[in-house]
């Protein structure tokens, strides 16, 4: 199964990183590992769509209005480039850490697609995909994918996966979501 597909390779990662770091500093948001870049109203609600899918107050598609403080920025331009995606967030994964193994499954047969735009990364930061839930004593092949700066990627997060950062420095990705019919993913 293919988990990651390259989309665009023309992302200006230097400009993006500079803008993201300035945005975080100016809004004093450095202590938050997840930030909402889109919300229901666009009123700079930086926390409205963060956290686990089942804990959201509204369906993901409702978080689709770009927050007003990033209007007219390169971040805004990138989000606008992918109009089918919503619930855009900035996700930080600290060095020497990982997320829990989870699936982003929605009801029905739809495939959860996340659009990832790496902002800052290191060669030891990976998305990891599991073909099955591990059991004791089982050998299991895990697929590791490093997403390079300067590109955007469609990522199938319907199955079991995690993100891991073996490096010392943090990793930032901008991530949007949409659901597709399972026939559209190969």
Confidence of residue 1 (pLDDT cuts 50, 70, 90): low
**Given this model, what pLDDT does residue 58 score?**
94
* Superfamily of the domain at 4-184: Jelly Rolls (2.60.120.10)
Examine the pLDDT at 181 and tell me if it is beyond 60: yes
CA 126 – CA 168 distance, rounded (Å): 13
Break the chain into its structural domains and give their ranges: 4-184
Structure token pair of residue 24:
């975080």
User: Which positions ≥6 away from 123 have C-beta within 8 Å?
Assistant: 146, 167
* pLDDT per position as a tens digit, 70-88: 999 999 999 999 999 999 9
Q: Read off the pLDDT band of 37 (50, 70, 90).
A: very high
pTM equals 0.95
At 184, the pLDDT band (50, 70, 90 cuts) reads low
Residue 110: what pLDDT? 87
CA distances from 170 to 53, 97, 138, 145, 165 (A): 23, 9, 31, 17, 8
Share of the chain above pLDDT 90, in %: 87
Lowest mean pLDDT among 71-80, 106-115, 131-140, 141-150: 106-115
Residue 104: per-residue pLDDT: 87
State the pairing for strand pair 171-180/86-93: antiparallel
The token pair that represents 68 in the structure block: 């007003």
Count of positions (residues) in the chain? 186
Contacts of 131 (CB under 8 A, 6+ apart): 1, 140, 141, 143, 159, 160
Query: In this predicted structure, what is the pLDDT of residue 138?
Result: 92
């Amino acid at each position: 199964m293919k988990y990651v597909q390259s989309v665009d390779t023309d992302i200006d990662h230097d400009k993006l990183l500079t803008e993201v770091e300035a945005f975080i500093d100016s809004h004093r948001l450095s202590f938050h590992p997840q930030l909402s870049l889109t919300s229901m109203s666009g009123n700079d609600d930086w926390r409205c769509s963060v956290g686990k899918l089942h804990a959201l107050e509204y369906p993901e598609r409702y978080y689709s209005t770009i927050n007003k403080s990033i209007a007219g920025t390169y971040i805004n331009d990138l989000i606008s480039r992918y109009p089918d995606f919503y619930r855009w967030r900035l996700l930080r994964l600290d060095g020497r850490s990982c997320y829990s193994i989870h699936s982003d499954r929605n009801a029905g047969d739809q495939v959860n697609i996340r659009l990832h735009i790496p902002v800052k990364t290191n060669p030891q930061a990976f998305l990891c995909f599991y073909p099955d839930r591990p059991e004791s004593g089982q050998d299991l092949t895990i697929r590791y994918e490093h997403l390079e700066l300067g590109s955007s990627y469609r990522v199938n997060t319907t199955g079991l996966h995690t993100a891991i950062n073996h490096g010392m420095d943090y990793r930032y990705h901008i991530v949007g979501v949409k659901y597709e019919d399972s026939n559209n993913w190969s």
